[in-house]
Amino acid sequence: MERGPIRAAIISDTHGVLRPEVERILETCDVIVHAGDFDTQMLYHKLEVNQPLFAVRGNNDRGWSGGLPGIKRFEIEGVKFIMAHERTQIPGSLGDAQVVVFGHSHMYQQQEINGRLWLNPGSCGYKRGTLPLSMAVMTIENGAYTLETIWLEKGYGTPEDAIAKREKPKKNRYERQQKRHMQEKKDKEMLFLIAKILRLYQADASRAWVVKNTGNDPELTAKIYDLCGIEETSDAHRILAKLKEGI
């Protein structure tokens, strides 16, 4: 009697969280592959109850996880795997492994290198920042496999989308910093001009002469000169504040 294809749920970085939608997917699978960071012994035992569990120890699996290996080699229906929690922990000698599984970053990654699949299923439990929750299901039969990426949140269709979501906050932060630096530069230049006009005003230089001979913007120069005559704006910083108010 033929056994038929095997469905393997490939997950990582649950961090003590087993979501209902993930449980429903696990129920459709024959085995579970977990790349570490269970975080709790309770979750580990819950996952190993109904299906065979292939697992490694994550950097947050302490104490109770002493029996879990840091690196694990195993085989499912003729497909050979090697797994560690972090990609940097994967040994240089991969042997005949066809699939390399790792986690830790919480970011889905799927890459073919020299005919070998490198797979990070992301996190399907604890959400880190803007990275989408994800996992994978591998269907294995007669030593061959197909892979399905499962995004657990709407709006994510490809791993590239996940990377873009992660990079967007960095880009926005950089743009804000650049904008702030440009504004600071403009303020310094404006303060220099205001201080110059203020000195000329205090030296009784005429408005017409100052407008003609100071700065490249006669309208702005005239406005600054007029503000110099107001007692409450008798220093450069106060004049700049008034200019920003649109006075």
Residues 202-231 have pLDDT tens digits of 899 999 999 988 878 889 999 999 888 886
Cα(145)–Cα(138) distance, integer angstroms? 6
Band of residue 1 on the pLDDT scale cut at 50, 70, 90: very low
Q: What pLDDT score does 86 carry?
A: 96
- What ranges do the domains of the chain cover? 6-157, 171-244
Retrieve residue 220's tokens.
Answer: 């702005």
Query: Rounded to whole angstroms, how far apart are CA atoms 161 and 233?
Result: 52
Could you tell me if 220 and 239 are in contact, meaning their C-beta atoms sit under 8 angstroms apart? Answer: no
Q: What percent of the chain has pLDDT over 70?
A: 89
Q: What confidence category does residue 180 fall into, taking pLDDT thresholds of 50, 70 and 90?
A: confident
Is the pLDDT assigned to residue 155 strictly greater than 80? Answer: no
Task: Please indicate, yes or no, whether the overall pTM of this predicted structure exceeds 0.85.
Answer: no
CATH architecture for the domain at 6-157: 4-Layer Sandwich (3.60)
Checking if the pLDDT of 108 tops 90, the result is yes
pLDDT at 120: 97
Inter-residue contact 8 to 26 (CB < 8 Å): no
